[in-house]
Amino acid sequence: MTPPRTLLKVENLTKRFGGLVAVNDMTFDVKEHEVMGLIGPNGSGKTTTMNLISGAFGPSTGTISMNNRVLSGLPAHEITRAGISRTFQLVKVLPGLSLTENVIAGAAFGHKKRWGAEAVDMAHQLLIRVGLETQIDLPVTSLTYIDQKRLELARALAGEPEVLLLDEWLAGLNPTELQDGIALISDLRKEGRTIILVEHVMDAIRSLCDRCVVMNSGTKIAEGTPQDVLSDPEVIRAYLGDE
């Protein structure tokens, strides 16, 4: 068996907003078929890192590359086409479109493009896959919060991305929904998908992540398996503060 290949490479990534350094010299790799957790206290720069990877804005310095192709600096639509899909911290479904159209939107312009009957088929399969088969004909605006999140996940999967970015996909769910959500991501993991997830839910991190990168004040303070980093004294200090 060959060792897993490095798919995504983040090198010396820095992002400044005016005088504020939101992300400071971050370096990490993501291997193929790996679920990597990006964790850290609020305001530590996790979502900014996700936004940099997805191309919502460009980095101040540093590079992001996938399969040895430099992606940083490209506009968001090109990064999506290169094979990086995302969900949003605050769920963003398209209210004027049907459920099926929402998913087709992910298939039509993304990494692997599908259109017409083929896209409709795929959308239906994905909607069933994420557990929305009974809601298919409902208006998007009538969906519950978790169902909107499911829809967003289906949309992100529709382009068959090489890397999936989940930005606090489990946040705001109640305990039952959380179990369902974790099971869904766990399935994706078993399929061998490469995922970066930003998460606060510790159970999810322990059960889903192969590896974690911990951020604090924009810098990486630890990296390793969930057990290792969560028992690292510096990580604990970052979360709980100095006594």
Partner 1 sequence: MTGQGFKSLTLIGVLVIAAAFVPFVTNGYWLSIAVTAMMYIALATAWTLFSGPTHYISLATGAFFGIGGYLVATGMSDFDISFWVMAAIAPIVAVVLAALIGAATLRLSGIYFVIFTLGLAEMIRGLVSWVQNNFLGSRGLYVLTDFTEEHIYWMLLGIAATVYVIGWLIDRSKLGFAMKIIGNDEGVAKHLGINTARAKVILFMITGFFSALVGVIVAPRYSYIEPNLVFSPEISFMVVIMALLGGTQRLWGPIIGVIPFILIWETITVSFPNATTLYLGLSFLAIVYFLPNGVVGLIESLTKRGRAS
Partner 2 sequence: MDILISGLLLGGTYALVAMGLNLQYGVARIMNLANGETLVLGALAAFLAFTAISLSPLVTLVIVAPLAFAANWLVYQFLLRPLVKRAKTSGQLEVDSILATFGMSFALVGIMVSIHGEYYTYSFLARPFEILGTTVAQNRLVAFFAAVIIGGGLVAWLNYTRTGTAVRAVSVDTEAARLVGINVPRVSALAFALGGAVTAVGGTLISTFITLDGSIGVIFTMKALIIVIMGGVGDLRGSIIAAVVLGLVETAVASLIDPGLTLVAAYVIFLGILLFRPQGLFGKRNA
CB of 241 to partner 1, least distance (A): 34
Q: Work out the burial of residue 42: count CB atoms within 10 Å of its CB; fewer than 13 is exposed, 13-18 middle, 19 or more buried.
A: exposed
* Contact positions with partner 2 (CB under 8 A) in 47-66: 57
Q: Are 27 and 21 in contact (CB under 8 A)?
A: no
Give the integer Cα–Cα distance in Å for 154 and 172: 18
Give the integer Cα–Cα distance in Å for 212 and 225: 6
Q: Does 81 bind partner 1 (CB under 8 A)?
A: yes
Residue 17's binding partner out of partner 1, partner 2, none, with CB under 5 to 8 Å set by partner kind: partner 2
CB under 8 A: which stretch of 12-20, 34-42, 99-107, 216-224 binds partner 1? 99-107
Strands 84-86 and 163-167: parallel
> What is the token pair recorded at 165?
């970015």
Residue count, binding to partner 2 (CB under 8 A): 4
* Contact positions with partner 1 (CB under 8 A) in 57-76: 75-76
CB of 155 to partner 1, least distance (A): 7
* Contact positions with partner 2 (CB under 8 A) in 1-30: 15, 17-18
Q: Work out the burial of residue 104: count CB atoms within 10 Å of its CB; fewer than 13 is exposed, 13-18 middle, 19 or more buried.
A: buried
CB of 81 to partner 2, least distance (A): 22
Candidate list 4, 43, 73, 96; residue touching partner 1; CB under 8 A: 96
Give the integer Cα–Cα distance in Å for 75 and 102: 22
Candidate list 61, 92, 128, 138; residue touching partner 1; CB under 8 A: 92
Rank residues 113 and 237 by Cβ distance to partner 1 and give the closer one: 113
Place of tokens 């790996």: 34
* Contact positions with partner 1 (CB under 8 A) in 103-132: 104-106, 108-111, 115
Rank residues 53 and 184 by Cβ distance to partner 2 and give the closer one: 53
Q: Does 90 bind partner 2 (CB under 8 A)?
A: no
Candidate list 16, 33, 41, 94; residue touching partner 1; CB under 8 A: 94
CB of 104 to partner 2, least distance (A): 24
> What is the token pair recorded at 48?
């900014």
Please choose, from the candidates 195, 238, 243, the residue with its C-alpha nearest in 3D space to the C-alpha of residue 83: 195
Q: Are 10 and 28 in contact (CB under 8 A)?
A: yes
Q: Where are the beta strands (DSSP E) in 55-191?
A: 61-66, 69-70, 84-86, 163-167
Give the integer Cα–Cα distance in Å for 236 and 217: 14
Which residues would be at the binding site for partner 2 (CB under 8 A)?
15, 17-18, 57
Which residues would be at the binding site for partner 1 (CB under 8 A)?
54-56, 75-78, 80-81, 85-86, 88, 92, 94-97, 101, 104-106, 108-111, 115, 155, 159
